[in-house]
Structure 1
Amino acid sequence: MTERTLKPKAAQLHEGLLRLHIESTSGDKLVTEIGNRHVRQWHTGLLDDGPGASTVAKAYRLLRAILNAAFEDDLIKNAGVERPKERPVLTVAEVFTLAASVPPRFRALVLLATFGSLRGGEPAALRRDHLDLEARTVRIEASVSGMKTGELITGRPKSDAGARVVTLPEVIIGDLAWHLQRFNEQAPDGLVFVGEKGAQLRRSNFTKVWAKALTKSGLPKIHIHDLRHTGNTLAAATGATLKELMTRMGHSSTKAAMVYLHAPGTGTER
């Protein structure tokens, strides 16, 4: 399958799928390093990040076509050999080290994204009245998506299960309270996380902060969405049930949650 055989609209769709959903997690791997296990983990991670079932299916079909073409062209000699690394999981101590390495206004974001199992666009949509610190809960009702034009679109989660209430651990409540006193919009329904100039948080801007924090903390290179992966793994390790994991993750299917119930320990892959 070559791009010149595709109509312009299809070629644009494939370019977007490659750039946003395939290369972002597989772009640094050789074709020969991609095995069945890696594809399963990639697929689970994509479901976890919530771009939508239709987009996930299209990305999967495109990756399958690429790998099939590589196999037919003898680029893959040992397709049955699995060499992928596990997605990294931080320890609790490493999460707090990372939180201490970002600017103070983003400390609570790191902790909440981890221990609240938030998806990528959910922190930017979070409002003050979505947090109940006495009950130790966060209510997820919306998510922010960035368009190619630079416009930010706030909408409901992509599925009914995505709208959820997540119980938070006591250990981060003090940090959330401290944040609410200093860095958020002060209206009762004000945004919890905003940029340094008070504008709505953009993931592209936070990516720069993230890169600096990784260097400062000395932690291995991980993606922002690995915070959610870490939170799910830690929740499973502390005894969360399948139903509780599904609620935290915002999934109506048991498939993704089962991955965490059967995950090995919680130490970071080095």
Structure 2
Amino acid sequence: MAKQRRRKFGGVRKLGSGRWQATYIDPVTAARRPAPYTFETETQANDWLIGAEADMIRGRWVDPDIGREPFGPYADKWIDERPNLRVRTKALYLWLNKRYLQPEFAKVDLVDITPPMVRSWRADLMADKHLSSCKAKCADKAHKGVSATMAAKAYRLLRAILMTATDDELIKRNPCRIVGAGTERPRERPILNIAQVFKLAEQMPRHLRVFVLIATFASLRWGEVTAIQRKDIDLTKRTIRIRQQWIEVVGSGMELHPPKSGAGVRTVSIPELLVPLVQEHLDEFVAPGRDAFVFLGERGAVLRRSNFNKLGWSKAAEAVGAKGLHFHDLRHTGNTFAAQSGASTKDLMARMGQDSMNAAIIYQHATRQADGAIAAAMNDAIEEYRRAHGDEGGEASQAG
């Protein structure tokens, strides 16, 4: 048996493999512990013991067994222990955890997750090599990797979970150290002009035409516009009250919830020239009764974002010169129209349902940078379009 070389603190010995092992007495259990790895030389083993002894003297020594908890159950518990998460945020965390984090880290102890492991995981994520199950299911398909936005979301979640593990003193330092990896840099989204908005609406099925116009000119999110009921609309005052939103929760289906923030509960004015169009829609497509939902599918079901392309959206967008248009770009367009009207930052925040002024300032800045004079108020712009109804509109312009 290899002879133990004793020192004042710990000891070193040469193993049969020719490498050196360092051992020391655990200050808590009094059991002899080996260093987590072996060394090429006796000097390296002694140097490690010197560092371990210094950590104990300074009170920085950490029990090596701390952090010997698999990432999988810790991540699940991390999400469950956050009761104040918005429903949609929690659903996103559960999905990101299951799809992107668990396949790589579920069985890895927290203490064994290293910066190189995180870098490798992110690189594979961007190349879509992270899921063996996905590769098995999609063996015949070319993988292009997840979007930069989704990769940033997954990285931020991993970093947040491991930051809590650091605070819990299960690991010494968060291994997520990739500069900029959690920052989303989405490309600039298209902004439609007035003519394009109306033409887009005309390209949609008749029961969805006013849906497109309201989403744009009231600057509403998908969940907000789909949750409007008769009692929320006051055509005399030309207002729509936003007080709830539909959220599609994985495993539960569609659920009604309050808007994403306190500022989301608001009353939004609509242009006067939309009033007769909204009235026609109410008369033709909406059931009687104050609680009737204003926008539903042809069979009376709640509209789902995941099915919207099947209802003609992609073809309609392409027809107006805006191929690849997202539904959220309608809100983006409406916010830009509002900023061009000369509205103040606070007024924009109220209309957009934002707690932070950052988004409102972005739209104001984009408007200040635009060529030409500030556009007339939104209703005047629509009236001008209506007078020249033959205008087909141009290509979708880019923000900024």
TM-score by length of 2: 0.50
Question: In 1, Cα distance between the equivalents of 2:97 and 2:363?
Answer: 26
Which residue number in structure 2 is paired with residue 48 of structure 1? none
Tell me if structure 1 keeps the 8 A contact 2:210–2:278: yes
Instruction: Describe the shift of the 1:241–1:152 C-alpha distance in structure 2 as closer, same or farther (beyond 3 A).
Output: same
Select 2:301's aligned residue among 167, 174, 199. 199
Name 1:51's counterpart in structure 2. Answer: none
Which of 276, 282, 285 in structure 2 is aligned with 1:174? 276
SS in structure 2 of the partner of residue 121 of structure 1: helix
Change in Cα spacing, 1:111 to 1:140, as seen in structure 2 (3 Å) is same
Counterpart in the other structure of 1:134 = 236
Is 1:235 aligned with 2:330?
no
Separation in 2 of the partners of 1:64 and 1:221? 32
What is the aligned counterpart of 2:260 among 154, 158, 161?
158
Q: 2:209 aligns with which of 107, 127, 135?
A: 107
Q: 1:260 matched to which residue of 2?
A: 363
User: Match of 2:96, as an amino acid?
Assistant: G
Aligned to 1:172, the other structure's residue is in SS state helix
CA shift, 1:84, in A, is: 6.9
Conserved? CA contact 2:336–2:363, under 8 Å: yes
User: 1:61 aligned to 2:156?
Assistant: yes
Q: Which runs of 5+ in 1 are unaligned?
A: 20-25, 35-41, 43-56, 73-82
Bigger fraction of residues in helix: 1
Query: Which whole-Å deviations, capped at 9, do the CAs of 1:146-190 have from their partners, x for residues lacking one?
Result: 122361100111221100001111232222111111112221221
Determine the C-alpha separation between the residues in 1 that align with 2:252 and 2:208.
22
Q: 1:173 to 1:68 in 2, by over 3 A?
A: farther
Give the equivalent residue in structure 1 for 2:310.
208
- In structure 2, the gaps of 5 or more residues are 1-69, 77-91, 100-125, 128-143, 161-175, 376-395
Go from structure 1 to structure 2 and tell me whether the alpha carbon gap of 1:60 and 1:135 turns closer, same or farther (over 3 Å shift). farther
Q: CA, structure 1 residues 118+6, in 2 after alignment: closer, same or farther (shift >3 Å)? A: same
* Secondary structure of the corresponding residue to residue 7 of structure 1: helix
1:16 maps to which residue?
Answer: 96
Shift of 1:207: 3.2
2: CA distance between counterparts of 1:167 and 1:258?
A: 21
Whole-Å separation in 2 of the counterparts to 1:131 and 1:8: 47
CA distance 1:9–1:131, change in 2 (3 Å) = farther
Q: Give the Å deviation of 1:261.
A: 0.8
The DSSP-based 3-state class of the residue aligned with 2:285 is: coil
1:126, distance to aligned residue in structure 2 (A): 0.6
Question: Aligned partners of 1:89 and 1:71: how far apart in 2?
Answer: 28
Deviation at 1:224, TM superposition (A): 0.6
Tell me the distance in 1 between the aligned counterparts of 2:215 and 2:304.
15
Once the two structures are overlaid, the 10-residue window that deviates more, 114-123 or 149-158, is 149-158
Amino acid at match of 2:397: T
Q: Deviations over 1:35-56 (max 9, x none)?
A: xxxxxxx7xxxxxxxxxxxxxx
Deviation readout 1:65-102 (Å, 9 max, x if unpaired)? 9x964989xxxxxxxxxx97422111111111111111
Paired AA for residue 211 in structure 1:
S
Aligned pair in 2 of structure 1 residues 213, 6: CA closer, same or farther (>3 Å)? Answer: farther
1:50 maps to none
Structure 2 residue identity aligned to 1:226: D
The structure-2 alpha-carbon separation of the partners of 1:106 and 1:17, relative to structure 1 and needing over 3 Å to count, comes to farther
Q: Distance in 2 between matches of 1:63 and 1:107?
A: 42
Count of residues paired in the alignment: 231
Distance of aligned partners of 1:7 and 1:213 in 2 relative to their CA distance in 1, 3 Å threshold: same
Cα deviation for residue 64 of structure 1 reads 8.8
Question: Percent same amino acid at aligned positions?
Answer: 44
Cα distance in 1, alignment partners of residues 159 and 359 from structure 2: 20
Deviations 1:196-223 (A, max 9, x none): 0112222222232222322343423111
Distance 1:89-1:254 versus aligned 2 partners, 3 A rule: same
- In structure 2, the residue corresponding to 1:200 is in which secondary structure? coil
CA distance in 2, matches of 1:176, 1:189: 17
How far apart, in 1, do the equivalents of 2:351 and 2:268 lie?
Answer: 5
Q: Could you say which structure has the greater relative contact order, defined with CA pairs below 8 angstroms and 6 or more residues apart?
A: 1
| Local SS of the residue matching 1:138 | strand
Decide which structure has the larger Cα Rg and report it: 2
TM-score, structure 1 normalization: 0.71
1:23 aligns with none
Structure 2 Cα separation of the partners of residues 234 and 128 of structure 1: 26
Alignment RMSD: 3.9
Letter in 2 for 1:246: M
